[in-house]
């Protein structure tokens, strides 16, 4: 089964989607860590970008973005398993990194702007020299997809979260594992607190677990959302924690007492990504509704709404001077947005990068291209993933699914007896689009295994 994806189904109640990890500024005992191995980042001049640019390179979905603290580099990672490193000011492609054997879902840059860290579906964490593009080392330890990474403010510690329901703490300089935390569910996002005293993880049921990095003990659990939390961000001033969920809301929490301050409503679908500006004056969000929203974290008011992406937005990242926002999307594009320093409103925000590899509606003759199959494979997987209800079964369920070129399920057929028995319990009937009169269809095989693994792959055309 080519390009399979792993997902562990949860058997109590309805399956919620993802887990996040956050770090709060709470006054718990400080761990006895060694001094940072990285030098303090130098103050940089404000970033100045040309009026327009296009970043070309990725062949499919852009999952993760990271901007270096020195304002020089933009890193982007994709479902195609590639990492691109760009000169942020000129838009020049500096390096194209290969090493991961599957999709890359998370990126982070060290405080001194020397090390890029990536993690993905091959269960591996890779450290790269950001200036040269050379691989420094590979960290092995997780047994499932690595969903999220974070580096401590002092540059010494790397935290990784995985589908295997663990958070691992690594010494970034030596690559040695320091601590393993066993979470209640798989981890979607991690953020270190500025004093590196605590770590917080969120679960698929919407709760947030706070951990001590001194002894790895769970210190507190709070209820954040009624549904899965997809992203968490901590304001640089240490005052506010933001959480985003499949319930379409963003919540702002007071870090001093963990009290809910604001519930931000505006997105019409799941919110996938959050980022605070370095000056803590702006919160950016993106998600399945294809819209970037800018919020005032003090008042909870939406300041701006940007439309330009054609598909879900998986990642947003601010430049260190808070003047540029980068966004990555399923539409294969990386966009750079210029934010007015005087008034952050739609009329003062300019899109300064055009779409990457946008393409017209596909014809049947092009449906078997590898790039198209990668995209449709992920669309099908996500649609099932978001609608699946927990089911107990002992046999592998196999279905043949027909899909249109624009990502709609046209029909499905059980391929074994168990699949026939359980077809009513899958989301396929709910997702089917009725009578679709078209010949532009591609067939996929879907496997739902008793172990909790979901696999989706085209039946033909994908070597």
pLDDT tens track for 397-445 = 888 888 888 788 888 888 877 777 776 667 777 777 766 655 568 888 8
pLDDT for the residue numbered 314: 94
Beta-bridge mates of residue 443: 402
Same domain membership, residue 65 and residue 207:
yes
Q: What angle do CA 91, 63, 163 make, to 5 degrees?
A: 150
Quote the mean pLDDT of the chain.
78
260 and 331: one domain?
yes
Q: Which two tokens stand for residue 63?
A: 């999952």
Of 8-17, 78-87, 159-168, 170-179, least confident by mean pLDDT is 8-17
**The most confident of 21-25, 259-263, 358-362, by mean pLDDT:** 259-263
CA distance linking residue 291 with residue 183, whole number of Å: 32
pLDDT value at 227 more than 50 = yes
Asked whether residue 401 is domain-assigned, the answer is yes
The reply to whether 327 and 379 lie within a common domain is no
The set of residues, in sequence order, having a beta carbon less than 8 Å from that of 283 and lying 6+ positions away, is: 233, 235, 242, 250, 252, 274, 275, 276, 277, 294, 295, 296, 297
What pLDDT sits at residue 274? Answer: 96
* Residue 204 shares a structural domain with residue 76: yes
- Say if 10 falls within a structural domain: no
Query: Are 203 and 69 found together in one domain?
Result: yes
% the chain with pLDDT above 70? 76
Total domain count, the chain: 2
Query: Is 189 part of a structural domain of the chain?
Result: yes
Encode pLDDT of 107-166 as tens digits.
999 999 999 999 999 999 999 999 999 999 999 999 999 999 999 999 999 999 998 999
| pLDDT tens figures, 8-36 | 433 232 223 233 333 323 233 323 223 22
Look at residues 100, 106, 103 and name the one whose alpha carbon lies nearest to residue 124.
100
Tokens (6 digits) for 349: 């925000």
CA distances from residue 145 to 20, 75, 142, 165 in whole angstroms, order as listed: 14, 20, 7, 10
Compute the chain's Rg from CA coordinates.
21
Once rounded to an integer, what is the mean pLDDT over residues 75-98?
Answer: 91
Among the candidates 303, 325, 354, a domain finishes at 354
| 1 within some domain | no
Residues 345 and 392 in one domain: no
Q: Which residues contact 71 (CB under 8 A, 6 or more apart)?
A: 44, 45, 47, 88, 89, 319, 320, 321
Is-above-0.85 flag for pTM?
Answer: no
248 and 150 in a common domain: yes
The H or E element spanning position 419 is helix 417-422
Phi, psi (rounded to 5 degrees) for 100: -70, 145
Instruction: Tell me whether residue 132 is in a domain.
Output: yes
The answer to whether residue 11 is domain-embedded is no
- Give, in order, the Cα–Cα distances in Å from 302 to each of 34, 56, 305, 312: 42, 31, 8, 19
Whether 14 maps to a domain, the answer reads: no
Residues in Cβ contact with 98 at an 8 Å cutoff, skipping those fewer than 6 apart: 81, 82
Q: Per-residue pLDDT for 98 more than 50?
A: yes
Q: Indicate whether 35 belongs to any domain.
A: no
Q: Which of 354, 384, 404 is the last residue of a domain?
A: 354
* CA 315 distance to own-chain centroid: 6
Residue 352: band (very low, low, confident or very high) from pLDDT cuts 50, 70, 90: low
User: What tens digit of pLDDT does each residue of 37-50 get?
Assistant: 333 333 344 444 33
Q: 303 and 343: one domain?
A: yes
Structural domain including 151 reads: 21-29+43-354
pLDDT at 189 over 70: yes
Per-residue pLDDT at 391? 59
Q: Which of 354, 372, 390 is the last residue of a domain?
A: 354
Same domain, 346 and 401: no
Q: Name the strands in the sheet holding 157-162, side by side, starting at the edge strand that comes first in the sequence.
A: 146-151, 157-162, 166-171, 177-182
State whether 405 and 451 are in the same domain.
yes
* Listed ranges 64-68, 194-198, 426-430; the one with the highest mean pLDDT: 64-68
pLDDT per residue as tens digits for the range 293-339: 999 999 999 998 888 888 899 999 999 988 889 999 988 888 888 88
Q: The CATH number of the domain where 190 resides is what?
A: 2.130.10.10
- Same structural domain, 315 and 392: no
C-beta of residue 191 within 8 angstroms of C-beta of residue 21:
yes
Instruction: Give the integer Cα–Cα distance in Å for 247 and 22.
Output: 18
Say yes or no: 281 and 369 in one domain. no
Confidence of residue 2 (pLDDT cuts 50, 70, 90): very low
Which is more confident, 100 or 199? 100
Amino acid 273: pLDDT: 96
């Amino acid at each position: 089964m080519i390009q399979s994806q792993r997902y562990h189904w949860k058997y109590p109640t309805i399956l919620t989607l993802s887990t996040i990890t956050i770090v709060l500024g709470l006054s718990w005992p400080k761990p006895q860590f060694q001094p940072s191995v990285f030098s303090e980042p130098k103050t940089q001049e404000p970033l100045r970008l040309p009026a327009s640019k296009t970043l070309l390179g990725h062949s499919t979905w852009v999952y993760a973005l990271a901007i270096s603290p020195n304002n020089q580099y933009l890193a982007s990672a994709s479902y195609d398993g590639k990492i691109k490193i760009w000169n942020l000011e000129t838009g020049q492609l500096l390096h194209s990194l290969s090493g991961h054997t599957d999709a890359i879902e998370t990126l982070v840059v060290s405080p001194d702007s020397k090390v890029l860290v990536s993690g993905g579906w091959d269960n591996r964490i890779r450290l790269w020299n950001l200036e040269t593009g050379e691989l420094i080392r590979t960290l092995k330890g997780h047994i499932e997809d690595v969903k999220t990474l974070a580096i401590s403010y002092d540059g010494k510690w790397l935290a990784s979260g995985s589908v295997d329901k663990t958070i691992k703490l690594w010494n970034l300089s030596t690559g040695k594992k320091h601590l393993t935390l066993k979470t209640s569910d798989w981890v979607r996002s991690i953020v270190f607190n500025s004093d590196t005293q605590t770590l917080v993880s969120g679960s698929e049921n919407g709760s947030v677990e706070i951990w001590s990095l001194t002894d790895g003990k769970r210190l507190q659990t709070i209820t954040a959302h009624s549904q899965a939390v997809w992203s968490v961000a901590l304001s640089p001033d240490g005052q506010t924690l933001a959480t985003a969920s499949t319930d379409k809301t963003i919540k702002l929490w007071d870090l001093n007492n963990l009290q809910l301050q604001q519930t931000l409503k505006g997105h019409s679908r799941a919110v996938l990504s959050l980022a605070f500006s370095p000056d803590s004056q702006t919160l950016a969000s993106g998600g399945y509704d294809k819209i970037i929203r800018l919020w005032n974290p003090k008042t909870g008011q939406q300041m701006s709404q940007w439309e330009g992406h054609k598909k879900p937005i998986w990642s947003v990242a601010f430049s260190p001077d808070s003047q540029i926002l980068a966004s990555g999307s399923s539409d294969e594009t990386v966009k750079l947005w210029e934010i007015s320093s005087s008034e952050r409103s739609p009329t003062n925000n300019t899109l300064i990068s055009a779409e990457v590899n946008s393409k017209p509606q596909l014809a049947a003759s092009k449906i078997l291209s590898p790039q198209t199959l990668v995209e449709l494979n992920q669309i099908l997987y996500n649609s099932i993933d978001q609608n699946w209800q927990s089911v107990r079964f002992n046999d592998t369920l196999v279905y043949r699914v027909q899909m249109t070129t624009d990502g709609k399920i046209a029909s499905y057929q059980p391929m074994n007896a168990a699949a026939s028995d359980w077809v009513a319990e899958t989301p396929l009937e709910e997702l089917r689009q009725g009578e679709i009169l078209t010949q532009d269809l591609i067939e996929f095989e879907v496997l739902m295994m008793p172990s909790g693994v979901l696999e989706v792959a085209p039946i033909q055309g994908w070597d």
